[in-house]
Amino acid sequence: MPDQDLRPPLWIGHVVLETHRLEESARFMHTIGMRAVHQGSEAAIFELRGGTHLILIAKSEIVPGDAPFDLMVDDLRATHQRFTSLGLAPSPIEAMPSIDHEFFRVREPAGHLITFYSNHSSGNPV
């Protein structure tokens, strides 16, 4: 009898971030740990855990602000230390007890602010 797939049947397929600095934003995403899948003149695609893809779309002008997504990591403190050593200037780690997370933020080259949260998955396959 084959193993039963215990993962949820759905996941986020794609998230999009517009950038007026495609090469720099792509290099940043690779530096923080995303797997490059495609790099073109109009878009770059990166793979994350769970098969989610981040699509960077080149635009001549953007309005930087909070990224329309956040990221979760297994070891928030080690990630913060790594980003600091890479010169990415992460914000201080803050607690968010209302949702049982800690977090910090990093600004990517196009100016978007990405929030990184501590992991608290259920412990079941995801």
Residue from 84, 119, 87, 85 nearest 100 by CA: 119
pLDDT in tens, 25-70: 999 999 999 999 999 999 999 999 888 999 999 999 999 999 999 9
User: Which pTM value belongs to this model?
Assistant: 0.90
Give, rounded to a whole angstrom, the gap between the first and last alpha carbons of the chain.
22
Which whole-number Å values give the CA distances from 31 to 46, 85, 121, in the listed order? 11, 12, 24
What residue segments make up the domains of the chain, in order of their start?
14-118
Between 14 and 99, name the one with better pLDDT.
Answer: 14
- The residue whose two tokens read 């049947």 is 9
The 10 Å CB-count burial string (b at 16+, else e) for 29-64 is beebebeeeeeeeeebbbebeeebbbebebeeebee
Between 99 and 60, name the one with better pLDDT.
Answer: 60
Q: Residue 90: CB partners within 8 Å, gap ≥ 6?
A: 80, 83, 84, 104, 105, 106, 116
Query: Has residue 111 got a pLDDT over 60?
Result: yes
Burial class (CB in 10 A: 0-12, 13-18, 19+), 21: middle
Query: What is the overall mean pLDDT for the chain?
Result: 93
Q: What pLDDT shows up at residue 2?
A: 56
The architecture that CATH gives domain 14-118 is Roll (3.10)
